[in-house]
Amino acid sequence: MHLAIIMDGNGRWATRRGLPRFMGHRAGAEVVRQITTYCAAHPEIEILTLFAFSTENWKRPKEEINYLMKLLGNYLERERNTYLKNRVRLKVIGDISPFSKELQKKIRETEEVTIDGDRLTQVLALNYGGRAEIVRAVQRTLQKGEAITIETIGKNLDLPTDVDLLIRTSGEERISNFLLWQIAYGELFFTPTLFPDFTTTELEKIITQFKKRERRFGAISPIPKK
């Protein structure tokens, strides 16, 4: 199963508690650890993709962006043992070239040191946008001299794996330019829970609901026999 999560609501979580927004991001990072550990132990989840920083997030206040970059760097250092202990492989998608050289180095080093993780691949979408990813895939396809088809574009994406289940927290019911190609037949769940309050118990309940859905992929349901 490929599970994707739009981690929304960190800022609102902090604001409602009279806290600075960065406290919400810090609390959200703790939830990421819990969810990653849960998914690594889950027998059916192979990929966990998290929307960590979008191409539109650069519009936020500079102080918040700087904190998010620092938080990411600290997270990668702090969670390295968590990755290794739970046999989690890190993969980053998106354009990280605007990030500092130091942060880019931490990202690549963590990807390299966790490359043998065989229980779960945790994908962090950083400076990522679904439309930009599709453009990159088309460019790669053309550079290889391949014909433009669904198959060739699909295999040249940053993340060439379809999403089975997409969850968005915080009550917002939109995709926000996330994995536009990969969610073509994914099942969508929206929860009002702000991300710092999102628990593995709620995740488990959503997965249970997901398993009850009939996924037809454009076909029709079989007619029950009389």
Tokens at 200, concatenated: 């593995």
Residue 24, SS3 per DSSP: helix
Q: What local confidence, expressed as pLDDT, does residue 204 receive?
A: 98
Q: Is 57 considered catalytic here? A: yes
How many residues appear in the chain? Answer: 226
- Catalytically annotated residue among 8, 86, 156, 158: 8
Q: What local confidence, expressed as pLDDT, does residue 220 receive?
A: 62
- Buried-state track 44-80, b at ≥16 Cβ within 10 A, e below 16: ebbbbbbbbbbbebeeeeeeeeebbbebbbebbeebb
Q: What local confidence, expressed as pLDDT, does residue 225 receive?
A: 55
Angle, to 10 degrees, between the axis of helix 101-113 and the axis of helix 62-78?
Answer: 30
* CATH number for the segment(s) 2-211: 3.40.1180.10
Cβ–Cβ < 8 Å for 178, 6: yes
Between β-strands 47-54 and 88-93, what pairing exists: parallel, antiparallel or unpaired? unpaired
Q: Is 8 considered catalytic here? A: yes
Per-block mean pLDDT, blocks of 10 residues, the chain (226 long):
97 96 94 97 98 91 92 93 96 96 96 97 97 97 97 98 98 97 97 98 98 76 57
* H/E stretch holding 10: helix 10-16
Between β-strands 120-128 and 165-168, what pairing exists: parallel, antiparallel or unpaired? unpaired
Domain ranges within the chain, ordered by starting residue: 2-211
Q: What local confidence, expressed as pLDDT, does residue 219 receive?
A: 65
Cβ–Cβ < 8 Å for 124, 92: yes
User: pLDDT tens digits for 127-184?
Assistant: 999 999 999 999 999 999 999 999 999 999 999 999 999 999 999 999 999 999 999 9
Q: Please indicate, yes or no, whether the overall pTM of this predicted structure exceeds 0.85.
A: yes
- Catalytically annotated residue among 10, 57, 118, 177: 57
Distance CA 105, CA 210 (A): 38
Q: What local confidence, expressed as pLDDT, does residue 224 receive?
A: 57
